[in-house]
Each structure stands twice: as C-alpha cells, then as structure tokens.
Structure 1
Amino acid sequence: MSSPIRTASRLLLAALAALWVLPSPAAQLVRVGAAHFPPYTVRPESGADTGLLPQLVEALNALQSDYKFELVPTSIPRRFGDFKQGRVDMAIFENPGWGWKEIPHTSVDMGLEDAEIFVAQRIPNRQQNYFSDLAGKRLALFSGYHYEFANFNADPKVLAQNYNATLTYSHDSNLLMVLRGRADIALVTRSYLSDYLLRNEKVADQLLVSQRIDQVYHHYAILRPEAPITGEAFGKLLQGLRDNGQMLKIFDPYKIAIVPVSHAENAPQVAN
C-alpha cells in the first residue's frame, strides 16, 4: 500500500510532467508597416531585410517572447489606409503631425532624432547663404515626404508648381541630379547623407551641406487603438533596448541621436 507521501510525490511528478509538455502561450503578433524610407526601411516589397527598421524589429523580438513583431510592406502614401483598415498595427519612425491627426491612434515617443538638410553642388564662392532663400532654385525632393519649408504639404502638384520641385523615390537619384547640375538643391535626411557619403567617398568634396535644417525628425511609433500591444508596453520595450545598448548600436552609426523620452504622448489621440 502506498504511503500518502509517496502518492503525493507521484501526483507532483505527474503535474510537473504535464506542465513540461504543455506549449507556452503563443506570442501576440504585432504587424509593423514597412514603407520605403531609407535608411530606415529600404524597399521592403522586395523582401530584403535591409535598413534600420528590420534591425529594430529583430532586437525587439530578441528582447522578449510576449510579442512577435513582423514587417508588413506598405508605401508612404498607402500607409494611412493600411493603418485604418487594420492591415498593420503600428507605424514606426513617424510623427503625429504627418497626416495622422484625424486617425485614432496612440503615439509613443521613441527618443530618436534625425534631421532634414539641404545639399547643393560645391562650386567656387558658394557659401551657406545659398540655402537661405529657395526662391528660383530647382529642388529635388522625395515623393510623399512632408517638408517644413512647404508647410508639410506633400501634394506633388503643389510642390512642383510652388517650389519648382522634381519628386523621385530615391535620395541617390536626387543627389545625382545635384551633382550633374539638373537640380540646385536636394533635401535628404542627415542619416541618409551619412550613409551615402560612406558609400560614395569620392563625391564628398563635391557637395555643400547646409547648416540650415528644414526640420528635425523626432520619431514616434503610431499604434492602432486595437493593436495587440499598448503604447505603455511598447515604450517599456524601447526602454529595454536603451538599457541593453541595442538602440545605440543600431542608430548611432547613422548619426541618429538618442534623446530623452517624453512620456506625455503615450495616450490615445482620437479624431475629431
């Protein structure tokens, strides 16, 4: 006859064995919109995991197991519709002022800053005052971007008519237009120019980079109200990447500043 202690031990072992074979709770899938925005995301529709966003997603997935972040290709103009229709749960490297004001969302300060700068061909006697007045100059811009000098109006017709702008989907093309005299000024992100000059060292002396900044990109994550992760939870994950050094490792090589985070934005923004 078995003793009570032996019976209890068998039951405990059986319970532990059952727990051992039970699958762990599945991670909640968080779909992150990936629009071509170099160097943050580079042609995601091609399936190549290049750019800073794939690195950030990889670091987020390695940090924890409660959520699985997955990239979903979209585009600069299409991302708003994909967000509203629930095709993506989150847009990263955004700003609440870039067309999101009428869309219900929660914004999370990522504590990252980049800048949009002006670049011209370096020629004799051309100085920084060349960038102070854009009137009469031919601009090379990235289609879909919101520029402060244009009051954040991204309408291609407005930019072409009012600012003599040529719009492309390539910063490389815009810089080549400047180098070949087909445009007077290109606007590029500081992070992209840093990467471009590393890849094209021979042209560094041919470009005049403005001290004038069109705008500072203070990056936010934009979350759907129905997203599987809350703004507060996502903010804590970003803090975890700050603490373990991954944020600095990913963004510092591109001269993207790690700055203090404001926690006031982690509240739902509801369309009027």
Structure 2
Amino acid sequence: MYVAAYDYPPYFSMGLETDVTRELIQILNDYQDTYDFQLQVIPPNGRYQALSETGCCDVIFFESEEWGWEGRAVESTIPLIRGRERFVAKRIPGRTQAFFETLENKTVGAVKGYHYNFNGTEQTADQLNQSYRAYLSHSALTNLRMLMGGRIDIMPINDELLSALQNAGEQYQKDLLVSDKVFDDYMLSMIVGHNKRLTQETMQQLVRELARQGHIDQLLQRFNLSRFQVYRIGLRR
C-alpha cells in the first residue's frame, strides 16, 4: 500500500529527522497487518498522476481537496487538520507589520508544485511569476534558509510548521517576523485514489480506530499540532 508524500513540512520532508506522515505510517503498520503501508516520495506536481488509476500510489496523507483535485477520480476522508498560511520575513530592526502590506518589489519564496491563495485566487507556484517576483525551490525548508540568508524577502509558511519548529526547539521564532494576517486556511484529509487496493471507507475506518485508541491525539501532540486538530472521538465532523 503506497502512501504518496511530497515535501510539505511538518507533514513530510526528507529535510526533517521525522515527520507526521512517516510516524503515522509506522503507527498504521503496528496497529494492523492487513495492509503494509509504504512511503513513496514524489514531487508535489506529481501527486495527481500518483493517485490516478495507473499511478504508483494508493493514498496521500494530509492533503486538501482544494489543491487541484477537483474533478479527479479520488475520495477523501473526513478532515483531521485545519491549517492556516501566512507570510513571514526576516526580523530586522525597524521592520514592522507594514512590510506585509504589499509584495511589490519583493522576492517571494515559493515551492514548485504548491498551490497558493495570496489574493483570493488559487494559483500554482508556476503561475506566481505572472504576478510576482518569485523564487521557486523544491522545499519550504530551503526557502526558510534562503529567507534567513537574505536571498529572498518574504515567503508563505503554514502555521503548523511554525508550531512544529517551536516544539523542536528551533530558534526561528526570534529571527522571524510573522504576519498577523492569515491569507489562507484549509482542511487536510487523507485522499484515496479510485480503483486502488485501499478504499476511502477502509481508510476512514482506520482513522477512526486510531483515534479511539488515542494514537491520532498522541501523534499530533508530539508535533505540537493539537490546536489544529478538528477530528477527535466525540468531535466527529
């Protein structure tokens, strides 16, 4: 059973010692022996092909239906996480929240294959160059280092990554100026391809069973993500 995963920290990144997806795969394999879940690393813009009928993978964890899945042969479980995205910049003397009022004359760090919603219009990273001066990398963590090094001026980041980095003791908090304004929020589910060895109903049932055993709560607590959690036993949505 192949789980598609692309660089999207804290949910998955080879730049991290561990992440939510790898931990959840281990939990699933320890919990049951009907399915053997295995990680399959893909590029972000390869996820639609990966879950297609002829694709390599069966499911992708922590993904939003709004990120290019409309009209595709997939189904999603109930949401587990409600995430948010905002801009960050390097903290320097005299820089205030006013820095985030415009992207004009700023180099924006983005990730190839991602979808962004800066101004109420969903755009792919490749489309950003039509409206902004964008630098595209393959990793949000790369962009974060570029930001700290002064190579880019501003970047979008999800609140979940900021929270996980804080939990890991990373010192980005003192070095980052974080925008007060959220420009996007989204719901993250497990998305299952049609005609796969795993069905949406089975994936949903596994999520429910793990939640009943407390595994979902414990996993998200470990990464400091509990405040983003929308699915708990007794709070089913």
Aligned partner letter, 1:142: V
The residue type paired with residue 212 of structure 1 is: K
Question: Does the 8 Å contact 2:89/2:154 carry over to 1?
Answer: yes
Percent identity between the two aligned chains: 29
Q: Which position in structure 2 is the counterpart of 1:184? A: 153
Runs of 4+ in 1 over 6 A off after TM superposition: 261-264
Unaligned runs of 5+ in 1: 1-29, 265-272
Counterpart residue number, 1:250:
219
1:152 aligns with 2:122: yes
Residue 124 of structure 1: CA displacement?
Answer: 3.1
- Measure, in 1, the Cα distance between the counterparts of 2:110 and 2:157: 8
Q: Give TM-score scaled by structure 1 length.
A: 0.75
Q: CA-to-partner distance for each residue in 1:79-127, whole Å, 9 max, x for gaps? A: 2112212311112211112111121111112321222221112233332
Deviates more, 1:93-102 or 1:117-126: 117-126
- Which one-letter code corresponds to 2:47 in the other structure? R
Residues of 1 paired with 2:139 and 2:201: CA distance? 35
Q: Which amino acid aligns with 2:94?
A: N
Relative to structure 1, the CA distance from residue 145 to residue 191 in structure 2 (aligned partners, 3 Å threshold; closer, same or farther) is same
Task: Kindly report the root-mean-square deviation, in angstroms, between the aligned alpha carbons of the 2 structures.
Answer: 2.5
* 1:109 to 2:78 alignment: yes
Matches within 5 A, 1:100-249: 100-149=69-118, 151-156=121-126, 158-197=127-166, 198=168, 200-201=170-171, 203-249=172-218
Q: How many residues of Structure 1 are paired with residues of Structure 2 in the alignment?
A: 230
1:118 aligned partner, one-letter code: F
Deviation at 1:238, TM superposition (A): 0.8
* Larger fraction in helix: 1
The verdict on how the C-alpha distance between 1:119 and 1:253 changes in structure 2, with shifts beyond 3 A counting, is farther
- Offset of 1:49 from its aligned partner? 8.2
Residues in 2 aligned to 1:54 and 1:181: alpha-carbon distance in whole angstroms: 32
Tell me the alpha carbon deviations over residues 150-199 of structure 1, each in whole angstroms, 9 at most, x when there is no partner. 6222142x312311111112323322332233322111222223344545
1:108–1:263 CA contact under 8 A, matched in 2: no
1:81 has 2:49 as partner: yes
Whose radius of gyration is greater, 1 or 2? Answer: 1
Q: Which runs of 5+ in 2 are unaligned?
A: none
CA distance in 1, matches of 2:72, 2:153: 36
Could you tell me which of 5, 8, 12 is aligned with 1:37? 8
Deviations 1:58-93 (A, max 9, x none): 111222233222222222111211221231111221
Cα deviation for residue 218 of structure 1 reads: 1.3
* Residue 241 (structure 1) shift: 1.7
Q: Secondary structure at the match of 1:109?
A: coil
Q: What code does the residue aligned with 2:195 have?
A: E
Q: Residues 210 and 140 from structure 1, CA distance in 2 versus in 1: closer, same or farther, beyond 3 angstroms?
A: same
Aligned AA for 1:74? Answer: I
Shift in CA distance, 118/253, structure 1 to aligned 2, threshold 3 Å? farther
- Contact kept, 8 Å, 2:7 with 2:140, in 1: the verdict is no
Scaled by the length of structure 2, the TM-score of the pair is 0.85
Q: Please say if 1:259 is aligned against 2:230.
A: yes
The CA distance in 2 between the partners of 1:155 and 1:199, in whole Å, is 30
Matched letter for residue 37 of structure 1: Y
Q: 1:154 to 1:66 in 2, by over 3 A?
A: same
Q: Deviation at 1:55?
A: 0.7
- For the residue of structure 2 that corresponds to 1:220, the secondary structure is strand
The equivalent position to 2:61 in structure 1, one of 78, 88, 92, is 92
Q: Which residue of 2 aligns with 1:59?
A: 27
Distance in 1 (alpha carbons) for counterparts of 2:149 and 2:36: 45
**Does the residue aligned with 2:143 lie in a helix, a strand or coil?**
helix
d(CA) in 2 for partners of 1:110, 1:67 = 22
